[in-house]
Amino acid sequence: MQFPLNPKSKIQNPKLNRVLIGVGGGIAAYKICELVSTLFKTGVEVRVILTRSAQKFITPLTLATLSRHPAYTDDDFWQATHSRPLHIELGEWADVMVIAPLTANTLAKLAYGMADNLLTNTVLASTCPVLLAPAMNTDMWEQQSVQRNWQQLLIDSRYHGMGTASGLLACDRIGAGRLAEPPEIFAHVQSLLHTQGKRDLAGKRVLISAGGTREYLDPVRFIGNPSTGKMGLALAQAALHRGASVTLVHGPANWDVPLGVQAIPVVSADEMQQVMVECLPNADVIVMSAAVADVKPRDYSTEKLPKRSLPQALPLEPVPDIVAQLAQHKQPHQMLIGFAAQNGDIIKPALEKLQNKKLDAIVANPIDRPDSGFGSDNNQAIFLDSQGNQLEIAPCSKLEMAHQLFDFFKPHTRDFQS
């Protein structure tokens, strides 16, 4: 799972909720059914265009049923049944376009500005962001000509590329060329609807910690917390979709790392401290969203302790205060954002942490409210910065909150060093 598909999480900007999906000809076309269905459930208006080759793999009726609107084909393109040209109408209608699976054929047409069917004509007749999710055989994807077309297309700021995943392909080849999974495409679409395609973190390096740490007593017992790392994952996705280079340092997690994110898994607070300190000099923005343990067992047994040997009172010792250490070594051009998970009054302890640890900003995060905090797909918070600004974030998806965080703290406006 890349990012939870939560039908209760509506797109936050009602003015931007129209997504046009172009389906190319490939076996991965069947995955688009899940994407169309999920978008509709989250309040998005969906229209679908199928190329002729796409209809060999999936029918217009299927996608029309899932989108609750007729799916378009080249047969519709060439019929004089519309008051205005269909490709013009669709191009003006869309807030975001998605082409998935993107085939080598369609990629080449787009790279050279060609338009010989409904899909490619609509792309040229639109100005909205276009999300590209290619899928093809490994040898096809790695051809020099295909990679040249891919890089040439991505020079255009309209186009947002997801790259391909690796794994077992329909041709029985194991390698690159798999279509990104629907939840990951869905998350990127949500981001584009929020940002309208802006890459305001382009050229910035964002370092994020996520999830809980585990402090082991023996090989099978540990002190931990219920953090799943979903908030950190959402932050990584939001930063990546806004053009940043992202490093994600995470504790044990039950999700896949987004394509394009450098992930460094850790277990304990000591391991997280070591990695975060090593990565700090290369970061422009540091977001410490991990739920790091406060204490650890003083003694560790390399063998599982029998139940009768467990101490009645467990001797504990503190773990490193990672965010305080990062603040001590932070340079003036860097922005450090912390998280404070609290119940009851969440503002007072967050302000104390903000001031005592010399952070640039902090997220006061309630853990005692319904459908927010640890393990939830949604969240709510109060953002506070060192200049005294505050912003209350109403319940929303964690990805939406991640984008609001980058909107509010505006790391792209700071005077970063190159």
Cβ-contact 347, 382 below 8 angstroms: yes
Type of residue at 390:
Q
- Looking at residue 410, its pLDDT comes to 78
| Residue 13 covered by a domain | no
Tell me: do 217 and 241 sit in the same domain. Answer: yes
Residues 93 and 119 in one domain: yes
Q: Are residues 56 and 78 in the same domain?
A: yes
- Give the pLDDT confidence score for residue 413 in this predicted structure: 60
CB neighbourhood size of 315 (10 A): 9
Q: Could you tell me the residue range of the domain that residue 261 belongs to?
A: 205-412
Contact at 8 Å (CB) between 307 and 231? no
Residues 279 and 314 in one domain: yes
Let me know whether 173 and 221 are in one domain.
no
Q: Which of 160, 195, 230 is the last residue of a domain?
A: 195
The CATH number of residue 356's host domain is 3.40.50.10300
Domain boundary pick from 143, 170, 195:
195
The single-letter DSSP state of residue 343 is S
pLDDT value at residue 4: 34
Quote the number of domains for the chain. Answer: 2
Pairing mode, strands 378-385 and 390-397: antiparallel
CA pair distance 416, 418, nearest whole angstrom: 6
Give the rounded distance of the alpha carbon of 10 from its chain centre.
Answer: 16
> Would you say residue 93 lies in a domain?
yes
Give me the tens of pLDDT residue by residue for the chain, a chain 418 residues long: 333 333 334 444 446 799 999 999 999 999 999 999 999 999 999 999 999 999 999 999 999 999 999 999 999 988 766 678 999 999 999 999 999 999 999 999 999 999 999 999 999 999 999 999 999 999 999 999 999 999 999 999 999 999 898 888 888 788 888 999 999 999 999 999 999 999 999 999 999 999 999 999 999 999 999 999 999 999 999 999 999 999 999 999 999 999 999 999 999 999 999 999 999 999 999 999 999 999 999 999 999 999 998 988 999 999 999 999 999 999 999 999 999 988 888 899 999 999 999 999 999 988 887 777 787 889 999 999 999 999 999 999 999 999 999 999 877 666 544 3
Can the peptide bond before residue 101 be classed as cis, meaning omega within 30 degrees of 0?
yes
* Active site residue ranges: 171
Listed residue (82, 156, 92, 154) closest to 121, CA to CA: 92
Of 167, 195, 223, the one marking the end of a domain is 195
Residues 106 and 24 in one domain: yes
Output the pLDDT for position 82: 66
- Whether residue 170 is found in the same domain as residue 219: no
Query: Among 137, 130, 126, 74, which Cα is nearest to 104's?
Result: 137
Q: What is the pTM of this model?
A: 0.91
* Host H or E run for residue 342: strand 335-342
Asked whether residue 32 falls in the same domain as residue 81, the answer is yes
Does 254 share its domain with 396? yes
Tell whether 294 and 380 lie within a shared domain.
Answer: yes
What's the pLDDT at 156?
A: 95
